[in-house]
Amino acid sequence: MATVKIRNIVLGEGLPKIAVPNVGTNEDEILSAAKEIAAAKPDLMEWRIDYYQNGIEDHEKLVTTAKKLREVVGELPILVTFRTKNEGGVLELSEDDYLDLIEDVIEKRLGDAVDIELFHDEKRVKTLVEAAHNYNVVVIMSNHDFEKVPAKDVIEFRLKKMADLGADVPKLACMPHNAEDVLTLLTATTNVNEEIDNPLITMAMGDIGKVTRVAGQVFGSSLSFGAVGKTSAPGQLSIDDLRDAENYLKL
Ligand SMILES: O=C1C[C@@](O)(C(=O)O)C[C@@H](O)[C@@H]1O
């Protein structure tokens, strides 16, 4: 399997890497959360910029905060994510505003990796992927279903489609209602892992889905999201629990 390097970490080898979301809503909160996150020593910090309304309204602010953030976290890799409201985020943005924002995140190099959602204008998504690669920014392409677990074929199609569009790391999160749903997500993950070269990230959310957040090394998910303080999605474990669980289950 191909591996993907984000700054000083490698996805697709060894234990699944651990990302901690930063959900600060203003610069002070973002910087103090970053300090706590860096102290907990995850592999990566996800900066959820959909929580940062002032920064979204004024990209200059976003750039200034990004610079301060880098000073606080040092070499810790940063993934910049704007999660749209449809997929579980907190702020409403028009299609054009979302795509323009992501373009800015890439061109101003606000992080080492960027989250680009699959379900947007395909032409522009492709252009954004090319731009990211020109700027040496890793692309994590994503899709979220907070209502349900899509059918196995649908999950597989989406993950493969992301790879076709040039994503370095396809990612899918969904909401299970029973054990069978969890198995559907895990089966699709294992299947796609055998078919494509990219490292994947998948998880089932909520309490029933927790098992998927700790067993990536068995089923083929290369990164898991854990919390320091506030969570950014249902079912996220604390970074310490996640790290312990991964170690217990080490292959
Ligand atoms: O895509 C994901 C995964 C996630 O939704 C989770 O379920 O842990 C958390 C989000 O912050 C992140 O962008």
CA of 117 to the centre of ligand 1 (A): 12
Handedness of CA 148, 182, 184, 244 (dihedral sign): positive
User: 177 catalytic, yes or no?
Assistant: no
Residue 42 DSSP one-character state: -
Q: Where are the domains of the chain?
A: 4-243
Amino acid at site 166: G
Q: What is the CATH number of domain 4-243?
A: 3.20.20.70
The active-site residue out of 59, 85, 171, 250 is: 171
Does any ligand 1 atom lie closer than 6 A to the CB of residue 224? Answer: no
Q: What confidence tens digit (pLDDT) does each residue in 110-140 have?
A: 999 999 999 999 999 999 999 999 999 999 9
Residue 158 annotated as lining a ligand binding site: no
User: What confidence tier does 230 reach under pLDDT thresholds 50, 70, 90?
Assistant: confident
Could you tell me which of 3, 1, 6 has the C-alpha nearest to residue 137? 6
The arithmetic mean of pLDDT across residues 163-170, rounded, is 98
Does any ligand 1 atom lie closer than 6 A to the CB of residue 202? Answer: no
The ipTM, to two decimals, is: 0.95
Q: Which two tokens stand for residue 194?
A: 């055998």
What per-residue confidence (pLDDT) applies to 251? 82
- Point out the ligand 1 atom lying closest to the alpha carbon of residue 48: 11
The pTM of this model reads 0.97
Does any ligand 1 atom lie closer than 6 A to the CB of residue 52? Answer: no
User: 126 catalytic, yes or no?
Assistant: no
Q: Which residues contact 56 (CB under 8 A, 6 or more apart)?
A: 49, 50, 62, 82, 91, 93, 101
